[in-house]
Amino acid sequence: MTYKNVYAGAMTTVLPANAATTTVAMYPANDGDPGSNPVKVWQVQVRPPNTTAAQQWLTVFDTSTSAAQVATASAIAVTSGAAQGVLLAASGGNSAVIVNLHAAGTTIQGTLAYAVPAAATTHVVTELPPNKTYTVTATPSGGNHAIRIVPATGGALKSSAKGVLLFDVAANGTVTAG
């Protein structure tokens, strides 16, 4: 996205996969009236490839200062736990963000498991129970890290008072608090 020929960031629709986007001038209306320019408000319409009633939606806004710095956003397949996530692969390092699939105000319960490429990655898991301890492992396997987050009394990592767990995984699979 640009504004007045200055790069302003990027928007990437991750889920539903293969969604089509259309950008529409909203205000002033693009009605052919020369007094309506420049357009000040735009709308991005996202259309899924099918009309299935139950769909997961995930969009990433990246406010990098240049197109070269924008992270590549891709869905993370969560194999255990009611969550979904996105991997942000950027020249400055990778980040994985995991969020709850349930209603707002609820927390992710139980074990979470997912895989990301075997590279140094910062992980942010939101909507966990606050101030709870977890055991986190990253097992290298076939070019990936199999991440497993297990609630554990006396675990090495602790969620914040707002229920956020932050940790780093080195390329060799070593897990440290973030």
pLDDT 10s digits, 75-97: 999 999 999 999 999 988 899 99
Is pLDDT larger for residue 11 or for residue 165?
A: 165
- Would you state the pLDDT for residue 30? 54
Sign of CA dihedral 128, 79, 21, 122: positive
Cβ count near 78 (within 10 Å): 19
pLDDT at 37 over 80: no
Sign of CA dihedral 144, 113, 124, 150: negative
Strand partners of residue 61: 11
Q: Are strands 121-125 and 93-100 parallel, antiparallel or unpaired?
A: parallel
SS3 call for 134: strand
- Look up the pTM and report it: 0.84
Domains in the chain and their CATH numbers?
1-65 (no CATH), 71-178 (2.60.40)
Residue 49 preceded by cis peptide, ω within 30: no
